[in-house]
Amino acid sequence: MRDHRLSERHITPGPALGDPVGLVRAMCGDYARSGELAWALFRRSLRSQYRQTLLGYGWLLIPPLATTVTFLALQRANIVNPGTSAAGYAAFVMTGAVLWQGFTDALGSPLRVIRSAISMLASVNFPREALVVGGLMEVLFSLGVRVAFLLIALAAMGSPPSWATPLAVGAIAALVLLGWMVGLLLVPAGILFRDVELGLPIITTVWFFITPVAYNLPSEGLLAIVGRLNPVTPLLVLGRDLILRGETEHVMAAAPALAATLGLAFAVSVLFRITIPHVVKRLPG
């Protein structure tokens, strides 16, 4: 299709800020037209990402497995005491780790894919949305592989997924959308300043420990307050409860986070659309 060809010409300016309806219409149109190009970018990235590795797609499973093994070792050493059996705790941590990895993958994806295409952003005319959609496809593929492995592992550990597991898809999708939305917000600053890229691993490490990935949220204390303010907490806990228990007390807690994520996602997409041309102009060379 002609719309998806990359052409060596300067990018034509889109609707101005004074025409918000035209701006939104253009953005939605570019998202709709970017599907074919996003799919091509996704396939190319997937083929090249693990080409020179010994473990190949096994690297998709290593992060949640490493987290699970680490916290099981801490439990065995009585450093972490969840008050449950090793098998039950392994299922608990592995489920939380898989959901957390989906969030962090989505968080880092927009900046990663935009930086990888930085050389052609200023001179090639194509929907910028194709880059972030292609990156989101990678996130969903990786998450799908991990969730499939998780369900098999839970059954093997004697903690089979509950009947409510399909309902967890909504919480998981919201968790990925939240990460993707925050990642889009970081793109303009991340392109101009490497500090964002260098600081992101530190931020996600701290964020991990204030999120109940490997522990139950306490009922009182500073960690309880921080955990309740953390927008990841209700979505992750809701998804894990539905997978492991088939019931949850966190629906009402997750509702505001879900509503805010859905409401802000569109606004963040518009902001990305407005800012990215100006950021590209400020790039050296």
What are the residue ranges spanned by the domains of the chain?
Answer: 18-281
Q: What is the reported pTM?
A: 0.86
Average pLDDT value for residue range 256-263: 81
Instruction: Return the sign of the alpha-carbon dihedral for residues 28, 10, 39, 283.
Output: negative
Contact yes or no for 125/10 (Cβ under 8 A)? yes
Q: How far apart are CA 65 and CA 223, in angstroms?
A: 25
Contact yes or no for 129/27 (Cβ under 8 A)? yes
pLDDT in tens, 117-164: 887 776 777 777 888 899 999 999 999 999 999 999 999 988 899 998
- Identity of the highest mean pLDDT range in 29-43, 74-88, 133-147: 133-147
Q: Residue 280 has what pLDDT?
A: 77
- Angle (CA) 132-136-138 rounded to 5° is 120
Contact yes or no for 256/108 (Cβ under 8 A)? no
Q: Which residues, other chains included, contact 133 with Cβ-Cβ below 8 Å and sequence gap of 6+?
A: 31, 34, 35, 38
Kindly calculate the radius of gyration of the chain based on its CA atoms and give it in whole angstroms: 20
pLDDT in tens, 171-216: 999 999 999 999 999 999 998 888 999 999 999 999 999 999 998 8
Higher pLDDT, 279 or 120: 279
